[in-house]
Amino acid sequence: MIRLIRIELKKILSYRAFWLLAGFYAISLTFTLIVAQVIINKILLEAGKSAPIPLLKISLYQFPRVWNNLTYMAGYLNLFLAIIVIFFVCNEFSNKTIRQNIINGLSRTEFILSKLYLILIFSLAATLLIFLTGLILGLIHSKDVDIGDIFSNRLQFILGYFIEVVTYLIFAYFIAFLLKKTGLAVITLLFYTMIEQIIIWWKIPSEYVKLFPMKAFGRLVHFPKIPLPEIDGKSIHFQDYVAVPDSAIAILYAGLFFFLIYLLIRKRDI
């Protein structure tokens, strides 16, 4: 395992494209967090003009709600991580390094496992980044911070986010391995996402919606704990926890796609 990780890190750390994509991901995350806060306060400002009393500005990043809000918004940027995975998987085929690695003694199983380890590293790095960002933003925006607020049960959304990233990236890995072309794989990933949404719009019963792959990944953290006022005396329903069945469905899909990758590399002439 350590040997495979070292091989993968040696490959990616020498690529300029990796640093460009990683930097773009970090910049996009920062921009998204800033814009989300501005939009929420602007909505409250406009709503307060017609309200009996002015609505106060709120923060999305107070403890403990920061964990849900942050992981939900970060989920929209998983595409950048998927593009990184697609780029490096497809690059193995275009540069024929997959053939060279196997000639040099790497088994086919070890090759696909090395990419899986790379996905786990990316997911851990992204999750750690979100955790540290949430910790910093929470300390800045919260008053009278209590240790129980920081490490509340809502911290489970960090774990949910990790599972979401891992499963989504394995799906991207499967598409890249199947098509072997970076541009085609990215377009296919986007096209499938759009097609799945169209199918769901066809009045699919709610109990079946969660069985679609992209929905299975996205349901892990699917609605943020935004502190909005009650509407017509009724509170808005928010996600309070990461459901175990949702996690199980996403993990099963990840296992299925990795198994399909295994079948492909066993039968494909590389």
For 139-185, the pLDDT digits (tens) are 988 888 888 878 888 889 999 999 999 999 999 999 999 999 999 99
Contact 214/196 with Cβ under 8 angstroms?
Answer: yes
Between CA 81 and CA 180, with CA 116 as vertex, the angle to 5 degrees is 70
Between CA 199 and CA 206, with CA 204 as vertex, the angle to 5 degrees is 125
pLDDT of 54 reads: 55
Contact 218/164 with Cβ under 8 angstroms?
Answer: yes
pLDDT of 151 reads: 84
Report the predicted TM-score, pTM, of the whole model to 2 decimal places.
0.90
Residues pairing with 231 in the sheet: 234
pLDDT of 237 reads: 55
Q: Residue written as tokens 């899986």? A: 116
For 220-251, the pLDDT digits (tens) are 887 665 555 444 444 455 677 898 999 999 99
pLDDT of 230 reads: 44
Give exposure, 150-161, as e/b (b: 16+ Cβ within 10 Å): beeebbbbbbbb
Find out whether the peptide bond into 245 is cis, omega within 30 degrees of 0: no
Domain boundaries, the chain: 2-267
Contact 151/76 with Cβ under 8 angstroms?
Answer: no
pLDDT of 11 reads: 85
Longest CA pairwise span in the chain (Å) = 74
Q: What residue ranges of the chain have pLDDT lower than 50?
A: 229-235
Contact 167/159 with Cβ under 8 angstroms?
Answer: no
pLDDT of 13 reads: 85
